[in-house]
């Protein structure tokens, strides 16, 4: 038999089944979808009927519905347990897009608050002070609190001893209270004391507490006490630049600067002592200006970018001198506001950041001379303000001495900035005008050192060196500045070829400064004490080697050892100018002779 033909065995083609419309014509044209239970508005209005069928659900949608049902059951059980809407009920609500079930898009209906960390939690800052925690007796705490206000508050001038009392600070802020007591302990017992080392870990914890508190409190501004605490830690910390900017951010969020206009207006409109002053503006202005000064110190002398500027005249701060709540410490603060504004203007001009032309020798001379005039006016005018102040007779001599020391420091840094702007580091290659600037810097450094050792008559008919005696209370910058000043005065003396007798005089003054520190019981800040001792020791070896007329190589070795001495603290923690200066003589005849000998 013949196999059947393929055409005989194949089935005839099936007739194409015509699709039956499932929706009315109007719904098809408008591409709407409706069902029997929920007809669309067009069908309801026209009376049309659609052919309905049960559409199978998407498996993913069914899964989300089961999850939502399970969450609803958990919410009900938690509501019964807590007796009120549970956290899940208020924080987790999932809804689906009814317009397009096929997309299966879940929508979270509530925003996540900033403090919500899901499975994580922030550590709560401690609310107990060091007395309640048993870390310190009340007697010691009172002693160290008083010690802080005997000198530390002059270097962190954002407090008022008449209102920031032991009981008041303790009741308002346990963190600020602990910080004041801790740094009072540092001033009284020294950095290496057992008491301060025990409290140092508490300072680190409070630093973390303050930053965490600022991060978590997004709905309300931080209290003024937190800003004061951050400023105090920044003044005595190696991380001062970072903490100062954190405090500045908090101050901006709080709006401390917003009350300055009303404060100035209240001072100008005052017609008599009975006119009431605003309750807070001076306290807030004091903290804001303290932040301004700290930012400028860390910028001009610490190398960080300046974060805040004065756009109006800094002389306006003098209006607050007549404020009835102004303290003698406020005079220090207001004078520094004006001084640092002058210094910042000069530094910006010399580095060319705010001038269109290059910093030419003529420009340098003009900037330096103009700034010297501004600094002299600043000194004479603030001395007159201090002489006219009848509220701080006991501190008059010390305040006047501090003005002169700050003036000498401003001139020293100005001249060294000018040398840096001239682009010459080797004194052997300097022009006459550049050498004149170097000589002026040396003169300012010598004056600064002599002022540190100035004896001041006190009210009890005795004399003392108040500046050295008060260094136990000093902030980190002051220790670094004094170590640098002694280094630079000795360095410039050698580089500029001072005679041996003059160098011996400078060394004698440096030894006297170290001796006064020891006599005052300074165990504070061992690193900068070591820098001072090393500076004097290296310079003394270089000078004695030259005076004994030893072999040339030996003398040059001692001198080079001192010239190359740059403490790492000045390289990485501070930005003091002039440390790159050197003296490399070029004897061209000897150079050619060497070439000839080699040939």
Same domain, 193 and 93: no
Report CA-CA distances (Å) from 384 to 264, 335, 341, 379, 403: 22, 12, 20, 9, 11
Q: Residue 96 in contact with residue 62, Cβ under 8 Å?
A: no
Q: For residue 371, which of 401, 337, 324, 339 has the smallest C-alpha distance?
A: 339
φ and ψ at 99, to 5 degrees?
-75, -25
The pLDDT of residue 116: 53
Question: pLDDT for 464-508, tens place per residue?
Answer: 788 888 888 999 899 889 999 999 999 999 889 888 889 999 999
Task: For residue 86, tell me if it sits in a domain.
Answer: yes
**150 and 64, same structural domain?**
no
Looking at the fold, whether 130 and 102 belong to one and the same domain comes out as no
**Is 109:71 a contact under the CB 8 Å cutoff?**
no
In the predicted model, what is the mean pLDDT of the chain? 78
pLDDT bucket at 84, cuts 50 / 70 / 90: very low
Judge whether 23 and 50 are in contact, CB under 8 Å: yes
Q: Does position 416 have pLDDT exceeding 90, yes or no?
A: yes
**Residue 248 within a domain:** no
Indicate if 91 and 152 belong to the same structural domain.
no
Question: Torsion-angle region of residue 78: left (phi > 0), alpha (psi -120 to 50) or beta?
Answer: alpha
pLDDT at 525 over 60: no
pLDDT class for 546, splitting at 50, 70, 90? confident
Whether residue 157 has pLDDT greater than 80: yes
Report H helices in 395-549.
Answer: 396-422, 432-452, 466-469, 476-495, 500-519, 526-547
- Cα–Cα distance between 191 and 474 in angstroms, integer? 12
Indicate the residue among 108, 133, 165 that finishes a domain.
Answer: 108
What is the model's pLDDT at position 388?
80
Boundary of a domain, candidates 210, 243, 276 = 243
Supply the pLDDT for residue 595.
Answer: 41
Q: Do 188 and 238 fall into the same domain?
A: yes
Return all residues near 497 (Cβ < 8 A) that are at least 6 apart: none
- pLDDT on residue 179: 95
Domain annotation covers residue 320 = no
Q: Same domain for 137 and 233?
A: yes
Q: What distance in Å separates the CA atoms of residue 506 and residue 484, rounded to the nearest whole number? A: 14
Indicate whether 129 and 103 sit together in one domain.
Answer: no
H/E stretch holding 464 reads strand 463-464
Query: Percentage of the chain surpassing pLDDT 70?
Result: 70
Does residue 329 form part of some domain?
no
Is 167 within the bounds of a domain?
A: yes
Global pTM value: 0.74
Same domain as 559, residue 461:
yes
Residue 347 domain flag: no
Q: What is the pLDDT of residue 287?
A: 94
Mean pLDDT across the stretch 164-191? Answer: 93
Whole-number pLDDT of residue 591: 43
Structural domain boundaries enclosing 78 = 59-108
Please give the torsion angle defined by the CA atoms of residues 501, 503, 505 and 506, in that order, rounded to the nearest 10 degrees: 170
Question: Do 188 and 77 share a structural domain?
Answer: no
Q: By mean pLDDT, which of 16-30, 219-233, 317-331 is the weakest?
A: 16-30
Q: Are residues 485 and 567 in the same domain?
A: yes
Between 41 and 375, the higher pLDDT residue:
375
Between 497 and 107, name the one with better pLDDT: 497
Q: Are residues 520 and 594 in the same domain?
A: yes
| Domain stops at, among 228, 243, 258 | 243
- Whether residue 228 is contained in a domain is answered as yes
What is residue 152's predicted lDDT score, i.e. its pLDDT? 94
Number of domains in the chain: 3
* Band of residue 39 on the pLDDT scale cut at 50, 70, 90: low
pLDDT band at 182 (very low <50, low <70, confident <90, very high): very high
- pLDDT tens-digit series, residues 346-383: 999 988 644 444 578 888 999 999 999 999 999 999 99
User: Would you say residue 263 lies in a domain?
Assistant: no
458 and 591: one domain? yes
pLDDT (0 to 100) of residue 267: 78
Most confident of 52-56, 81-85, 131-135: 131-135
288 contacts 308 by C-beta, under 8 angstroms: no
Indicate the helix (H) or strand (E) that contains 96: strand 94-96
CB 109, CB 156: distance < 8 Å:
no
More confident residue, 103 or 191: 191
């Amino acid at each position: 038999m013949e196999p059947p033909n393929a055409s005989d065995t194949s089935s005839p083609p099936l007739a194409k089944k015509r699709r039956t419309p499932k929706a009315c014509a109007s719904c098809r044209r408008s591409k709407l979808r409706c069902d029997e239970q929920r007809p669309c508005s067009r069908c309801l209005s026209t009376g049309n009927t659609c052919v309905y069928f049960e559409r199978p659900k998407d498996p993913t949608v069914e899964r989300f519905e089961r999850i939502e049902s399970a969450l609803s059951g958990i919410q009900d059980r938690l509501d019964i347990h807590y007796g009120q809407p549970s956290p899940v009920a208020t924080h987790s609500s999932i809804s689906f897009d009814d317009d397009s079930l096929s997309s299966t898009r879940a929508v979270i209906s509530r925003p996540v608050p900033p403090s919500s960390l899901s499975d994580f939690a922030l550590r709560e800052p401690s609310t107990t002070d060091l007395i309640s925690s048993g870390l310190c007796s009340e007697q010691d705490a009172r002693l160290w609190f008083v010690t802080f206000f005997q000198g530390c508050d002059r270097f962190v001038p954002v407090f008022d001893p008449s209102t920031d009392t032991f009981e008041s600070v303790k009741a308002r802020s346990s963190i600020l209270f602990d910080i004041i007591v801790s740094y009072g302990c540092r001033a009284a017992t020294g950095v290496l004391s057992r008491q301060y080392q025990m409290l140092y870990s508490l300072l680190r914890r409070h630093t973390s507490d303050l930053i965490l508190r600022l991060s978590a409190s997004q709905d309300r501004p931080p209290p003024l006490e937190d800003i004061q605490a951050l400023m105090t830690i920044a003044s005595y910390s190696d991380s001062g630049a970072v903490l100062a900017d954190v405090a500045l951010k908090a101050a901006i969020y709080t709006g401390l600067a917003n009350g300055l206009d009303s404060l100035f207006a209240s001072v100008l409109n005052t017609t008599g002592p009975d006119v009431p002053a605003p309750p807070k503006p001076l306290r807030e202005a004091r903290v804001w200006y303290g932040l301004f000064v700290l930012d400028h110190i860390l910028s001009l002398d610490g190398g960080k970018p300046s974060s805040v500027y004065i756009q109006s005249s800094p002389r306006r701060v003098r209006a607050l001198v007549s404020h009835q709540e102004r303290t003698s410490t406020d005079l220090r603060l207001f004078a520094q506001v004006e001084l640092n504004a002058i210094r910042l203007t000069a530094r910006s001009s010399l580095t060319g950041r705010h001038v269109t032309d290059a910093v030419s020798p003529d420009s340098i001379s003009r900037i330096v001379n103009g700034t010297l005039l501004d600094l002299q006016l600043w000194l004479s005018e603030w001395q007159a303000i201090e002489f006219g102040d009848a509220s701080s007779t006991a501190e008059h001599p010390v305040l006047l001495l501090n003005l002169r020391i700050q003036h000498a420091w401003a001139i020293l840094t100005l001249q060294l900035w000018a040398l840096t702007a001239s682009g010459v580091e080797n004194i052997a290659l300097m022009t006459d005008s550049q050498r004149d600037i170097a000589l002026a810097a040396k003169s300012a450094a010598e004056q600064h050192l002599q002022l540190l050792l100035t004896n001041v008559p006190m009210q009890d008919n005795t004399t003392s060196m108040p500046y050295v005696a008060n260094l136990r209370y000093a902030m980190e910058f002051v220790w670094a500045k004094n170590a640098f000043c002694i280094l630079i005065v000795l360095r410039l003396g050698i580089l500029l070829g001072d005679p041996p007798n003059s160098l011996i005089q400078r060394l004698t003054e440096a030894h006297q400064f170290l001796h006064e520190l020891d006599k005052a019981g300074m165990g504070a800040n061992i690193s900068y004490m070591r820098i001072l001792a090393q500076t004097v020791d290296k310079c003394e070896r270089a000078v004695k080697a030259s005076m004994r007329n030893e072999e040339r190589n030996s003398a040059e070795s001692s001198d080079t050892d001192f010239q190359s001495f740059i403490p790492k603290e000045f390289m990485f923690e501070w930005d003091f100018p002039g440390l790159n200066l050197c003296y490399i003589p070029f004897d061209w005849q000897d150079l050619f002779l060497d070439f000839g000998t080699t040939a």
